[in-house]
A and B are shown apart, each in its own frame.
Chain A
Amino acid sequence: MIEVPEYTGKKSRRDFLNYVLSIGFFGWIGAILYPLYSYLVPPKSPDVDTSNISIGKESEMENNSSKMFKIGNKPGILIKTNEGELKALSATCTHLDCTVQFKKDENLIWCACHNGKYDLNGINISGPPPKPLTKFNVVVQKDEIYVQK
Chain B
Amino acid sequence: MKKKSILKKGYGWINERFKIDDLINFMKKKEVPLYHGTIWYYFGGISLLLFIIQVVTGMLLLLYYKGSAELAFESVQFISAKVKFGWLIRSIHSWSANLMVLAAFIHMFSVFFTKAYKKPRELTWYSGFILLALAMAFGFTGYLLPWNELSLFATKVGTDIPKAIPLIGGFIMNILRGGEEVTGSTLSRFFGFHVALLPGIFTLVLTMHLIFIQRQGMSAPENWDELPEKNKKKIPFFPNFLLRDLLIWLIIINVLSVLAVFFPWELGVKADELAPAPAGIKPEWYFLFMFQTLKIIPSQILVMDGEVFGVLLFSIAGLLWFLVPLWDRKTKTGEKRYWLTYAGIFAIIYIIIFTIIGFIAK
Q: Which residues of A contact B (CB under 8 A)?
A: 28, 35-36, 38-41, 43, 45, 47-51
Residues from chain B with a CB closer than 8 A to the CB of A48 are 64, 66, 71, 74-75, 77-78
Residue of B nearest to A40 (CB): B63
Instruction: Determine the residue in chain A with the shortest Cβ distance to B85.
Output: A35
Q: Across chains A and B, which 10 residue pairs bring their CB atoms closest together, nearest first?
A: A38-B84, A48-B78, A35-B85, A48-B74, A45-B82, A48-B75, A43-B82, A39-B85, A43-B83, A38-B85
The reply to whether the CB of B88 lies closer than 8 angstroms to some CB of chain A is: yes
Give me 20 A-to-B residue pairs in the complex whose CB atoms sit less than 8 angstroms apart, sorted by A's number. Answer: A28-B250, A35-B85, A35-B88, A36-B60, A36-B85, A38-B84, A38-B85, A39-B83, A39-B89, A41-B84, A43-B82, A43-B83, A45-B82, A48-B64, A48-B66, A48-B78, A49-B71, A50-B71, A50-B74, A51-B71
In angstroms, Cα B71 to Cα A51, docked, is: 9
A147 to B344, CA, bound (A): 61
Q: Flag whether B70 is at the interface (Cβ < 8 A).
A: yes
B:69-122 near A, CB below 8 Å: 70-71, 74-75, 77-78, 82-86, 88-89
8 Å CB contact of A43 from B71, B84, B88: B84
A33 vs B78: C-alpha distance in the bound complex, in angstroms? 21
- Name the residue of chain A whose CB is nearest to the CB of B75: A48
Asked if B71 and A39 sit within 8 Å, CB to CB, the answer is: no
Chain A residues whose C-beta falls within 8 Å of the C-beta of B250 in the assembled complex: 28
Residues of B within 8 A of A51 (CB): 70-71
Which chain B residue shows the least CB distance to A50? B74
New contact pairs (13) apart from A35-B88, A43-B82, CB-CB < 8 Å: A28-B250, A35-B84, A39-B83, A39-B85, A41-B84, A43-B84, A45-B78, A47-B78, A48-B64, A48-B74, A48-B75, A48-B78, A51-B71
CA–CA, A45 and B89, complex, Å: 18
When chains A and B are docked, how far (Å) is the Cα of A49 from the Cα of B86? 17
What is the distance, in angstroms, from A35's C-beta to the closest C-beta of chain B?
Answer: 4
A50 touching B70 in the complex, CB below 8 Å, given contacts A39-B60, A39-B89? yes
B residues less than 8 Å from A43 (CB atoms): 82-84
What chain B residues lie within 8 Å of A36 (beta carbons)? 60, 85
Q: Which residue of B lies closest to A44 (CB)?
A: B82
Tell me the minimal C-beta distance from A97 to chain B in angstroms.
Answer: 20
Chain B residues positioned under 8 Å from A40 (CB to CB): 60, 63
Chain B residues within 8 Å of A38, by CB? 84-85
With a cutoff of 8 Å between Cβ atoms, the chain A residues found around residue B84 in the complex are: 35, 38-39, 41, 43
Of all chain A residues, the one with the shortest Cβ separation from B83 is A43
A16 to chain B, nearest CB (A): 17
B66, B77, B85, B89 pick with most chain A CB within 10 angstroms: B85
Residues of A near B78 (CB, < 8 A) are 45, 47-48
Structural contact, B86 and A39, CB atoms closer than 8 A: yes
Q: Which residue of A lies closest to B71 (CB)?
A: A48
User: By CB atoms of chain A within 10 A, which of B82, B88, B89, B250 has the most?
Assistant: B82
B278: min CB distance to chain A, Å: 22
Closest to A49 in B: B71
Question: Which partner residue on chain A sits nearest B84 by CB separation?
Answer: A38
Cα(A45)–Cα(B82), bound, Å: 7
Of all chain B residues, which has the CB nearest A45? B82
B287 to chain A, nearest CB (A): 30
Residue ID in chain A nearest B77 by CB atoms: A48
Inter-chain contacts of A28 with B (CB < 8 A) = 250
Q: How far is the CB of A37 from chain B (nearest CB, A)?
A: 9
Residues of chain A with a CB closer than 8 A to B71's CB: 48-51
Measured CA separation A35–B60 after assembly (Å):
11
